[in-house]
Amino acid sequence: MAETIQLEIARYSPEHDQKPALQRFEVPLRPEWVILDALNYIKDKVDGSLTFRWSCRMGVCGSCGMMVNGEPKLTCATFLHKYEGKAVRVEPLRYFPVVRDLVTEISDFMRKLKRAKPWLIRRTEKPLAEGEYLQTPEQLDTYKQFSMCINCTLCYAACPVYGLDSEFIGPAALALAQRYNLDSRDQGAEERMLALAHPDGVWGCTFVGECTSVCPEHVDPAGAIQQYKLKAATHWFKSLLKPGG
């Protein structure tokens, strides 16, 4: 294995720059290092102004998502030695505005996540004396996959529909809505349907499928959205037979 590896990192300083530019760094190539280790090495030893988000460094918090050689990846879960022999290009996640260097502005995602109402909605609450809401393993299995989302927004960086139309609610929000729709304890499917069975919601998706390919937690948001489309279409046709609302 070589001693060092080259990284090309997107730098953007809103005070000085009109647009981002790539800056080259040379970092040690240690076999156990991930891209995040290389970024922290640069920040500690070479250029303290390099700005990026990270937290858990173990693939559960969703903070460190960036484009690595054009693909959305969690930098704490991407090994450096895989890129030995080539330059590694690290850029901020695609389709989001860039605040500085590798940090993106994700409040659009946060707002859209809220629209999906990703919490248990009850029309009728059980009195406390009756105990907790019980759920069988089979009931858990229906939505468990969609509950694994860590809100890393890699799927938004992979979705061309979101890139082209910022009104689109996007994969993670829709997958999380479906996670709660399928939860046996939830009674909010109707409420979510009104917000999401919408041209900017489920109907904006053209099933490119890249969101599922890049998801580090194997949530399969594309699958969740197609299931939601079928559900929404069935709901629409049924509502034709029950006029008056």
Q: Taking CB under 8 A as the criterion, which residues in 58-117 touch another protein?
A: 70-71, 94-95, 97-100, 105
Q: Taking CB under 8 A as the criterion, which residues in 219-238 touch another protein?
A: 222-223, 226-227, 229-230, 232-233, 235-238
Of 31 and 70, which CB lies nearer to another protein in the complex structure?
A: 70
Phi and psi of 74, rounded to 5°? -85, 120
Shortest separation between residue 148's beta carbon and another protein, angstroms: 15
Q: Three-state SS for 192? A: helix
Residue whose pair of structure tokens reads 């502005």 in the numeric block: 105
Taking CB under 8 A as the binding criterion, the range among 13-21, 24-32, 37-45, 123-131 that sits at the site for another protein is 13-21
Residue whose pair of structure tokens reads 């809220």 in the numeric block: 114
Taking CB under 8 A as the binding criterion, the range among 1-9, 37-45, 122-130, 138-146 that sits at the site for another protein is 138-146
Among 147, 188, 209, 217, binds another protein (CB under 8 A): 209
Query: Distances in Å between the alpha carbon of 17 and those of 67, 82, 95, 108, 187?
Result: 20, 32, 19, 24, 50
Residues in binding contact with another protein, number by CB under 8 A: 53
Is there binding between residue 16 and another protein (CB under 8 A)? no
Shortest separation between residue 57's beta carbon and another protein, angstroms: 26
Given a contact cutoff of 8 angstroms between Cβ atoms, the answer to whether 12 and 101 are in contact is yes
Of 15 and 132, which CB lies nearer to another protein in the complex structure?
A: 15
The DSSP string of 46-96 is I-TT------SSSSSS---EEEETTEEEEGGGSBGGGGTTSPEEEEPPTTS
